[in-house]
Amino acid sequence: MSEPLHSNALIHETSPYLLQHAHNPVDWYPWGPEALRRAREEDKPILLSIGYSACHWCHVMERESFEDEETARVMNACFVNIKVDREERPDLDAIYMTAVQMMTGRGGWPMTVFLTPDQKPFFCGTYFPKEDGHGLPGFRRVLAGVANAYEEKRHKVLGDADAVTEALAASLQVAGGEGGGAPALDAALLGRAAGAIAAGHDPVDGGFGGAPKFPPSMNLRFLMRAAVRERERRYLDIVTHTLRRMASGGICDQLGGGFHRYSVDARWLVPHFEKMLYDNALLGRVYLEAHLLTGDPCFRRVCEETLDYVVREMTAPEGGFYSSQDADSEGEEGAFFTWTEEEIRSLLGEEDARFFGLHYGVTPGGNFEGKNILHVPRPAAETARAAGVPVERLEEAVRSGRRRLMAAREGRVKPGRDEKVLTAWNGLMLGTFAEAAGALGREDYGRVAVQNARFLLSNLCGREGVRRSYKDGRARFDGCLEDYACLVDGLISLYETDFDPSWIREAERLTGEMADRFWDGAGGGVFFTAKDHEALIHRPKEFWDNATPSGNSVAALALLRLGALTGEERWRGYAAAILELNAGAVSRHPAAFGHLLGALDFYLGPVREIAVAGDPGTEAAREMLREIFGRYLPNRVVACGTGGGSVLLERKPAAAGEATAWVCEGSTCLEPAASVGELRERLGPPSRF
């Protein structure tokens, strides 16, 4: 292989996204003192480009512009060029994405922001083509215009930058809390929120709104809570309809399991093919809870296929979970996941290919650039009737075909994988594996969760606090609020899986550190960055639940759960303050607060506090735990053991040395249950419709 013609300062980074640009002719820098100092000393504006490894249009802009010698010459002459991986630096991404949305009315990646040397934004956009087209100015014209304005109209540029920065600070500070009268934190608020979210449901294809469609995991989880609280079947119907439509669409990898990022159409058919760890963590959880609430084996299957995909494709040998898989392979979007009819026929033979194709909507012309995205247009029984064969024959052809196509797909060039281990996203997935282990009786999932927790605590938690990212043996970057909150929440779920008291001790330690370093004692809520974080143009708070739940939302629910398990009232107090701060915004924009609404539901209760006194390794205790975790009980905490780990176990002995279950709500406990039958009576009928 020949030596690259160019190298820049990104060559020393670990981020796959930054390394993809390390041999551009652009003189890229990572964000840091050297680049910022150079901008000040040379009095040059900063060209800040933010993206991530799995981003299709990031790759397009690199090929078109950043690999172009002439474009690079202009960039190097007129700007200090900084490249940022948004997944490593969500603090920078949060600040400057808000600026992009304020200035242009939309956002996305790659993000292109021009800053003064003191980091204030004055012009921005997202993807720019190399030449004018599609209603967008060409990138070279943008570069020339910005450089000229900075030289010739400096006073106006600096004034605009100051104005944007002031507006940005105000926007980021009140993002969730927005002023105005705050409604009461009560069940009526939950009811209004559920009704407003349900009103946006697409009754044909599921989900909410039109194309493009993103998996609405958090709002679906909240609607399940609302269905049980209000005994409202309509909410559950919205959830199950959406989950079935997604599971049968092209957004779901029908062969390998797991979900792509989003659907470009309203039908969930054509995905943007990247796979993100956080999507699969959130979707795995919502399918698990839907299975517990409905008993539908389809939802269990989708949950398990999603988690099995993560084990197979996204888990490092040491236990960390990788961040993402690319949309492209061999320079072509979706090439790894799509099929021609002829490919399928050559692998399966004429008859099996016909049955397989009928089931997965395969046609000669395909549904995506001449190829087929596998999807399930109708139930197998309907397809079998249309084909004139027994459903068993169709299902056998589908099972056999899946195995053969999966084996053939493994021989293809795989999409690139971003092997960063991000604490926040790992915390989300840790919680999903832990919950699935208990609910589904999957001890293998429990082992995955334990290995992951040990990896995170050993490699990303130290004297300097929680770190954000790990790759190639290096833990880097200050942890943000979401890193602490998601890890704490995952550790609480892991405690409720194997009842090792060390997980609760670690969760308490990290929660204390989070409160000390992130809490806003003056304004309430939790800052995005710690008090000793690098100085940026603003210290934001994040409240909205977007692609991932906000740090404040995760923190609120984790604090409530931890408070119930430990009896520490200050944790509940912090959570209450977060909820009160956001009550007005939740009332006005409920669809933007799906996870926080779940925390409010837990806060209002009633919360089942369940203690199983006895060794969790005994069969008697395990039977009781299976009864508990096999139910849909979103507002519950569970402790098990012979003492220690949780205040719930205090003064609750096991009768005659056997496992004994205590079910309490608030300060009231029912009679202890000495058998599974008695426990079933104490818990009451399962919450199923």
Q: Is the pLDDT of residue 212 over 60?
A: yes
| Model pLDDT, residue 545 | 96
- Give bridge partners of residue 526 from the DSSP assignment: 519
Closest alpha carbon to 642 in 673, 674, 664, 617: 617
Helices 233-248/187-199 angle, 10° precision = 40
| Model pLDDT, residue 215 | 97
Cβ atoms of residues 203 and 129 within 8 Å: no
CB atoms within 10 A of CB 256: 19
Tell me if residue 541 falls in helix, strand or coil.
strand
| Model pLDDT, residue 189 | 97
Q: Is the pLDDT of residue 1 over 80?
A: no
CA pair distance 313, 322, nearest whole angstrom: 9
Tell me if residue 523 falls in helix, strand or coil.
coil
Return the H-helix or E-strand segment holding 664: strand 660-665
Cβ atoms of residues 35 and 112 within 8 Å: no
User: What is the CA 538 to chain-centroid distance, rounded?
Assistant: 25
Tell me if residue 302 falls in helix, strand or coil.
helix
Of 127-131, 447-451, 665-669, the range with the highest mean pLDDT is 447-451
Length of the chain: 689
Confidence band, pLDDT 50/70/90 cuts, at residue 173: low
pTM confidence score:
0.95
487 burial class (0-12, 13-18, 19+ CB within 10 angstroms)?
buried
Q: Is the pLDDT of residue 564 over 90?
A: yes
Cβ atoms of residues 577 and 586 within 8 Å: no
Respond yes or no on whether the N-terminal peptide bond of residue 90 is cis (omega within 30° of 0). Answer: no
| Model pLDDT, residue 652 | 84
169 burial class (0-12, 13-18, 19+ CB within 10 angstroms)?
middle
Mean pLDDT of 96-104: 92
The DSSP call for residue 10 is G
399 burial class (0-12, 13-18, 19+ CB within 10 angstroms)?
exposed
Which residues have C-beta within 8 Å of that of residue 447, sequence separation ≥ 6? Answer: none
Backbone angles phi, psi at 69, to 5 degrees: -60, -45
- At the topology level of CATH, where does 187-217+293-324+418-604 sit? Glycosyltransferase (1.50.10)
What tokens does 365 get?
């012309």
CA pair distance 665, 583, nearest whole angstrom: 25
CA pair distance 441, 463, nearest whole angstrom: 36
Q: What is the 3-state secondary structure (H, E, C) of 616-659?
A: CCCHHHHHHHHHHHCCCCCCEEEEEECCCCCHHHCCCCCHHHCC
CA pair distance 522, 511, nearest whole angstrom: 19
Confidence band, pLDDT 50/70/90 cuts, at residue 177: low
Q: List the domain boundaries for the chain.
A: 9-173, 187-217+293-324+418-604, 337-411, 608-683
Q: Is the pLDDT of residue 257 over 70?
A: yes
User: Which residue do the tokens 């990212």 mark?
Assistant: 469
| Model pLDDT, residue 654 | 79
Confidence band, pLDDT 50/70/90 cuts, at residue 182: confident
User: Which residue do the tokens 């109708």 mark?
Assistant: 378
Percentage of the chain lying above the pLDDT 90 cut: 89
CA pair distance 469, 321, nearest whole angstrom: 11
Confidence band, pLDDT 50/70/90 cuts, at residue 300: very high
Percentage of the chain lying above the pLDDT 70 cut: 98
Q: Is the pLDDT of residue 643 over 90?
A: no
17-30 burial string, b = 16+ CB within 10 Å, else e? Answer: bbebbbbbbbbbbb
CA pair distance 402, 16, nearest whole angstrom: 31
The DSSP call for residue 389 is S
> pLDDT tens across 187-205, in order?
999 999 999 999 999 999 9
Q: What is the mean pLDDT of the chain?
A: 94
Return the H-helix or E-strand segment holding 342: helix 341-348
| Model pLDDT, residue 689 | 63
> pLDDT tens across 502-513, in order?
999 999 999 999
| Model pLDDT, residue 153 | 95
DSSP-assigned states of every residue in 570-625: HHHHHHHHHHHHHHHHHHH-GGG-HHHHHHHHHHHSPPEEEEEES-TTSHHHHHHH
Closest alpha carbon to 190 in 162, 232, 249: 232
Among 50-54, 219-223, 355-359, the minimum mean pLDDT is found in 50-54
On whether the 9-173 domain is CATH 3.40.30.10, my answer is: yes
Q: Is the pLDDT of residue 179 over 90?
A: no
Tell me if residue 271 falls in helix, strand or coil.
strand
| Model pLDDT, residue 70 | 96
> pLDDT tens across 509-544, in order?
999 999 999 999 988 899 999 999 999 999 989 999
Alpha helices per DSSP H over 411-545: 423-440, 443-459, 481-498, 501-518
CA pair distance 412, 117, nearest whole angstrom: 46
Cα–Cα distances (Å) from 79 to 27, 31, 64, in that order, read: 9, 14, 19
| Model pLDDT, residue 4 | 81
